[in-house]
Structure formats: structure tokens, C-alpha cells
Structure 1
Amino acid sequence: MDDVSLTVGGATVSGWTSVRVTRGMERIPADFDIAMTERFPGATDVLVNEGDPCVLSIGGDTVITGYVDRVGDQFDAHNHALSISGRGKCEDLIDCAAQYQGYQFEKMTAAQIATALAKPFGINVKAAEGGLVVPQYIFNVGDTAWCVIDTVCKFSQLLCYEDADGDLVIGPIGTLEAEGGFALGVNCERAGYLRDISQRFSEYRVFGVGSAALQDAGVQPYIEQTYLDDTMPRFRPKAFIAETNDAGAQVSKQHALWECNRRIGRGNIVTVTTSSWRDSAGQLYAPNTLAALSLPQLKLIDGQKFVIGEVTYRRAMNGTACDLVLMPPQAFMPEPINNLPMAQDAAAALGKR
């Protein structure tokens, strides 16, 4: 049985009566709510304070490494209940202002920038070597560290999310696959499939309307680019004005294609509830993992692979279950961003200073 244990100050406590642990690709940090009563041995001896570093584990696997945020004690004539809530270490990146001398980065990759911003909080960054070099990035006083990291990762078209160790992971959509996938009546108790076209369009049009800065007036051509979603049943156009500078049109075209693909992905959401927290190979279900779906009852293509976007492990008096949210891979592709807010020759000159 996968017991949920919380380790604080070297002491480990299990026997929780209520458990809710959630991790996700777009839910940073991971968080948990757990509770127990005096009916369990040692409940009255649990000494946990808000702010304590903690590690939450399921069986022998670490799931969240972070801090206790809230501790609640309740007494009455017959019971003593203890509840604890906490989040992963990356909560400090979300909550706190970014700290870096000069408030600007020059000629650094997304991983290098993230490492510099995460270091004051004791958070490690796990990223592959290399990546796009950002010529210059200036942030405002009060911007959170996560706001900066999320933006520079989009420059390189990389995802960033928290892992079980409380570290920040920077990388592409995962290629690992949950063994066994999901099949109704095998390891899937309940499943749902939401198909939504309310936020989708038949055409995504990009218009290049520039000011011809540093050029003779009237020499900049009128440019229009269209991307079609042939799966839309009626005419629904969506228009974008291309960003400025000589890289703006290219990035805006990428953005229009991203809008089309992302909206298709977000319009196909599968929810699955299973009684086990682990796949057929014994691995805990985790975000950024592919899973094959065998759910013909939902009119899905047999064996079609969706990405696990969010996982919630839960346990209460009525039993144990795992709730998962899955979407096609394109639903999680990072948004293209123009990282050259000036002409490319000017940016190149700035980088040579």
C-alpha cells in the first residue's frame, strides 16, 4: 500500500486520514493538503510549524520537496484533528520579487538566467546545456522571478515546471510514456472527454503593418499570412497585427500557428480517474508524461497518445484514487515571443559592447 508520509525536521509521520497532492506542468509549485486525527498513534506528538522544510512521499517515492505553509489544529470533547498544507520549493519563485544586480541580463541562456534567479532561494535548475542566447533582458522592480523565467524560456520554446525534488526543470515536452496507458474497465474507473470549439477559429491571419522606421516612407510592403483550421465547421476569422521590428513578422506568424494548434489541443481535454497512483510498471503517474488511451466509448482513436498535464493523488475515508487531466501535446507548446524588441542590426551591435 502506498502510505503518504511527511518528513519534517528528521521525523516522519504517516497514517493520514485525508490526502490531496497535486502536480502539474502548468501548476507551479506542486501543493498538498493532508489531515489526521488523534485516533492514529503519535498524532498528538506531531510537531510541525508553518515554514518548516518538508518532504512528502508516497511509498518510497518523493513527490513534493518544499515547505509547510499552514498548520491547523482543531479540538472538541471527542476528537483532535490536525491539518497541514504546503507547497514545493518553487513557491518562492512565484511569490517573491526577482533579485539580480542591475535588473538586467546580457548574453545569457534561459537556463543561466533561471539559475541566477533561483540561487538566492536555494532552488536548483535542471536543464540541458546550450539553448538560445538572449542578447539582453531587463525586468522591472517587483517582477517575480517566475515571471522572468517563464518569459525567457518562451524565447527558447522550452517548458519550465517543478519536479519532485523541488527543483526547476527546463526542457521540451517529455517523451516518456506511462506503461499500460488507460483503458476503461482495466485501470480506469471513470473517464470524460470534453470537445470544445468555442475558442477555436477557422482562420488565423497575421497582418504586417510597420512604421518603416529608419527607411524611406512607403517602401515597406503590406504583408498578410493566413493559417487555416480545416476542422472548423464554419467561417470564424481571428486576426493579429504583427509585432514591430524586422523579426516581428516572423514571430507573429509562429504565434498565429501556435494559437491554432494550442486552441485545438485545449479543445480536447480527457479526464481520467483510476484507483491506482501508479502505472503498470509501478511508476507514479507524473506530469509531462505521455499515455496511450484505449477509450472507444469516448470516440477517441484507439491508442492515441495524450500528455498528462496534471495529476492529483487523493485519499479519504471513501477510498484512494488518482485524477488526471490529459490533452494533446500541442496544448502545452510554449508561446512564441519576440525576443528582439529592436532592429536586429541594433541588437547585434548591442551584444558586441
Structure 2
Amino acid sequence: WTEVSVTKSLESLCGRVRATFTDRWPDEVWGIVPGDEIKVLVGGKRLMTGYVDRVASDVAGDSHEIAISGRDKTADLVDSSSSVKPGSWKNRKLDAVAKILAEPFGIKVRVLTDVGEAFDTFSITAGETIYEALEEKARQRAVLMNTDNDGNLVFIEVGTPVLTRGVEYGKNVLSASTVYDHSNRFAFYTVKGQRSTGGDRWTGGTATQIFGEALDPLITRPRELIIKAEGQATYSSSQKRAQWEAVNRAGKSEIVDVIVQGWRDPN
């Protein structure tokens, strides 16, 4: 290869790879085609495992350049709707449903944090992708989804894992820039939901109003964000959702762009 770029982000479930090659054997058929499995290794250590999406060929004079792009295995969850029946489950935890939905694609599920209590009902809406269905429920339980180097779906919380060496100016930092943007932060976060209690098909039931609240002490103006809880809420899930929203928005408001020496933390 002559150029390679690998992108991994907490903002996106699946990572991306782009690579450019020079065809040294013009009389032979190029061996990589869309759909092939791809593994990206640096120094013998794997960075990602996925599939080739696109292959482009460019011929000019006596040169022949080939460029490929691909994504993690979890790209299938981002793109695809679920064919698993019945498409609705009761009293299942987030990771349990994720394993059911990911199994047809040969994707394993790893849990590195508490995914919260089971959902009363977990249903996939018509036209919804697998990722969209899981992301909505993950947001309710205040957890993040990402992909590890082997292409597995991973449930994590912000801040894990921590680099053993870290980033330190004067040692491994080549350049750095920072941006502080509070436009999407609020002083008060309130999650409002309800939960049906009692009743039957004739008498009905009562809906208990449930609230979760969190504060951001750095925002001094009375800015408030009210969030409607999806599905049946509990006090615990609503409180955790409000706290997650505050912490998540605070984290996104402080952007540090650092270029370091090397690809990986040495430890």
C-alpha cells in the first residue's frame, strides 16, 4: 500500500479504512473485491476487522493505482433491517436482544459496563435498522455502543478504557488544538416519563409520572432541557438518562485534537 487511513470514533458504531495500492502485477487479476473480509494490522496488532465496501481502479499511462474502502463488521448492523422474528421481546436486557440481532451476521457482543434493567418490551419498528433500534434502547440505559478490533459489538460507558501512557505535551504530542463550545450544554436536565401501574383490559390502569434530573454546574444561565423518556420509564433509568445527557454533552463541548507519535499506546 502507498496510503492508508483508519478512522475510529465513539460517534460512529463502525470504523472505516481507506487504503491505496500500486498494482505491481498488471497482467494478473486484482485479488480484492467488494465483500471480502479485511483485517487492518499495524506492527502485528489488529486495528479493525470488517469487509471491503468499494474497490476503485485508476489507470494512467504505465501506472495502475487501486483504492479500497471498508468498514468494521458492525457496518451490517448500521445498514440492515432485522430479519429475526418475531421482532419483539419481553423482559429482555439490552445485551440479550443485541446478541439475537447480531448473531445472523456472525457478530459477537461484549459487555464492559452495566446495561441496566430488562425492558418490559423491546420492539423493532418497521423500516428501522438494527443499529437504530439498539441505539435508542442504549440511550435509555445511558450506555454507548462501539466496535472492538475484532469486529465485535461492545457496550461501554464514557471513559473506558483509559490509556496507560496517556497524552503528554513535550513527550508524545506532535501538535494539539482545542475548542470549547457550550452551545449545546444546559444548566438543568429533566427526563420526563411515565409508567403504567395496575388495571386490566376493562378498568384500565393509572400512569405514574416519573422524573429524572441532573445539573451542569458550569452553566450559570437558567438553560433547561426537557427530554421525553422513550417507552416505560423507571426512576432509576430516568435519573441515569438525565445524568448521562449532562455528562455526554459536557464531554462533547470540549474538543481536543491531538496528533501523537505512533499508532498505539505502547503498553
| Short-chain TM bin | 0.7 to 0.9
Q: Which residue of 1 aligns with 2:73?
A: 89
Deviation string 1:301-353 (CA, Å, 9 cap, x unpaired) is: xxxxxxxxxxxxxxxxxxxxxxxxxxxxxxxxxxxxxxxxxxxxxxxxxxxxx
The CA deviation at 1:188 is: 0.6
Q: Which amino acid aligns with 2:96?
A: Q
Q: Which residue of 2 aligns with 1:17?
A: 2
Q: Which residue of 2 aligns with 1:278?
A: 264
Q: Which residue of 1 aligns with 2:167?
A: 182
Deviation string 1:191-246 (CA, Å, 9 cap, x unpaired) is: 11111122223344567899x998xxxxx99999875433235x242142665998
**Mapping for residues 230-269 of structure 1, pairs under 5 Å:** 230-233=217-220, 235-240=221-226, 243=229, 247=233, 251-269=237-255
**Mapping for residues 139-150 of structure 1, pairs under 5 Å:** 139-150=124-135
Counterpart-to-counterpart distance in 1, 2:230 and 2:111: 31
Deviation string 1:261-281 (CA, Å, 9 cap, x unpaired) is: 322222111110013112233
Q: Is the 8 A contact 1:207 1:239 kept in 2?
A: no
Q: Is the 8 A contact 1:98 1:142 kept in 2?
A: no
Secondary structure in 2 aligned to 1:182?
A: coil
Q: Which residue of 1 aligns with 2:183?
A: 198
Deviation string 1:66-107 (CA, Å, 9 cap, x unpaired) is: 111111111111311110111111111010111221221122
Secondary structure in 1 aligned to 2:119?
A: strand
Secondary structure in 2 aligned to 1:34?
A: strand
Question: Structure 1's 174 and 82: CA in aligned 2 closer, same or farther, altered over 3 A?
Answer: same
Aligned residues: 259
Q: Which residue of 2 aligns with 1:60?
A: 44
Q: Which amino acid aligns with 2:16?
A: D
Match of residue 229, structure 1, among 216, 219, 223: 216
Secondary structure in 2 aligned to 1:113?
A: helix
The CA deviation at 1:139 is: 1.5
Counterpart-to-counterpart distance in 2, 1:182 and 1:264: 20
Counterpart-to-counterpart distance in 2, 1:173 and 1:209: 27
The CA deviation at 1:251 is: 4.9
Percent identity (aligned): 28
1:160 matched to 2:145: yes
Counterpart-to-counterpart distance in 2, 1:129 and 1:92: 23
- Please identify the structure whose Cα radius of gyration is greater: 1
The CA deviation at 1:43 is: 7.2
Counterpart-to-counterpart distance in 2, 1:244 and 1:172: 20
Counterpart-to-counterpart distance in 2, 1:67 and 1:27: 16
Secondary structure in 1 aligned to 2:165?
A: coil
Unaligned runs of 5+ in 1: 1-15, 215-219, 282-353
Structural RMSD (CA): 3.5
Counterpart-to-counterpart distance in 1, 2:40 and 2:147: 14
The CA deviation at 1:147 is: 1.5
The CA deviation at 1:24 is: 2.0
Secondary structure in 2 aligned to 1:62?
A: strand
TM-score norm. by structure 1 comes to 0.63
